[in-house]
Structure 1
Amino acid sequence: MSAKPRVLFVCVHNAGRSQMAAGFLAHLSRGAVEVRSAGSAPGDRINPVAVEAMREVGIDISANTPQVLTPEAVEASDVVITMGCGDACPVVPGKRYLDWELDDPAGQPLDKVRPVRDEIRLRVERLLGELGVPTRT
């Protein structure tokens, strides 16, 4: 693992789950972790309901844009966290992989996205503990 841990969140469209996770990790780590997110088939824009759900907890992801998953992004990461990208996620030996099974917020109303957001936050906090990075309160 590098001196500053590098984490990549991957889902299909890079418009909801992975963007929320990246937002939480960047916010809670206060920059102590290098954060990336990408999608195997990126969407055109961030899911507006995910943006609203994150805004409710004081994190603005509205300026983010979906990014395409590349082998280079995986290679440059210490930890790769997949969220339903299936076989499209490249496997690089020596990388730590985690698969977070989470409901897809695409097309869901805010009341269905909030529990996904809250579960992502819990998992990000647990990840920070595993990485030995203090968490913002």
Structure 2
Amino acid sequence: MTTNVLILCTHNSARSVLSEGMLNHWARKLGKDVHAYSAGSAPSGRINPFALDVLNEAGVDTSYVRSKSWDEFVAPGAPEMHVVITVCDSAAAEQCPYWPGKPVKVHWGYPDPSNAPEAERRKAFELTRQAIGYRMLQMLNLPLETMAPSDLRAALEGIVRS
């Protein structure tokens, strides 16, 4: 059974897209039955070009990414989520929709690389991609398909502290 992971950030233009790309990339490379999606509460409708650049330069397929609303994932026929991760503090503080299936919810905050000074912005995106990629690798090392929700939540929260 595929483990579906939804990664949320308010505008779904940078951190959540980096997370979606990195999780799908590593899951494919490692042969894990995990699929990542990303969405936002107020999607911008565009992906930050720096996010696309650093993903592409790391060999990550971005052909499928787009900025979308989290409403798509509560609509009839949407894939059932097993894990929902917020990656920005504002999304973590928002009232999220009801997620069918009662997924495990955790917060993995990252500073917004879009707010870095212009001369350092590309580097900020690359460092954020690397940090996200490392956490995604740690998550993929967990026995996701067999963990009880409370154990999964504790393990995912532990990744932030490590």
Distance 2:15 2:63 in 1: 14
Deviation sequence 1:73-125 (CA, Å, 0-9, x none)? 79820000011212142354732111011011225410111111110001111
Q: Secondary structure at the match of 2:8?
A: strand
Structure scoring higher RCO (CA < 8 A, sep ≥ 6) equals 1
Q: Which aligned pairs between 1:7-18 and structure 2 lie closer than 5 A?
A: 7-18=5-16
Measured in 2, the distance between the counterparts of 1:14 and 1:69 equals 9
Identity of aligned residues (%): 31
Q: Indicate the structure (1 or 2) with the bigger Cα radius of gyration.
A: 2
Distance 1:104 1:88, change over 3 A: farther
Q: Residue in 1 aligned with 2:36?
A: 35
Which has more helix, going by share of residues? 2
CA RMSD of aligned residues (A): 2.3
Unpaired runs of 5+ residues, structure 1, are none
Which of 99, 103, 111 does residue 103 from structure 1 map onto?
A: 111
Counterpart Cα distance in 2 of 1:11 and 1:88: 13
Offset at residue 132 of structure 1 (A): 4.8
Aligned residues: 131
Does structure 2 retain, via aligned residues, the 8 Å contact 1:46–1:65?
Answer: yes
What is the CA–CA distance in structure 1 between the aligned matches of 2:44 and 2:6, rounded to whole Å?
17
Structure 2 residue 83 is matched with structure 1 residue 79: yes
Q: 1:42 to 1:88 in 2, by over 3 A?
A: farther
Partners of 1:11 and 1:53 in 2: CA distance:
18
TM-score by length of 1: 0.83
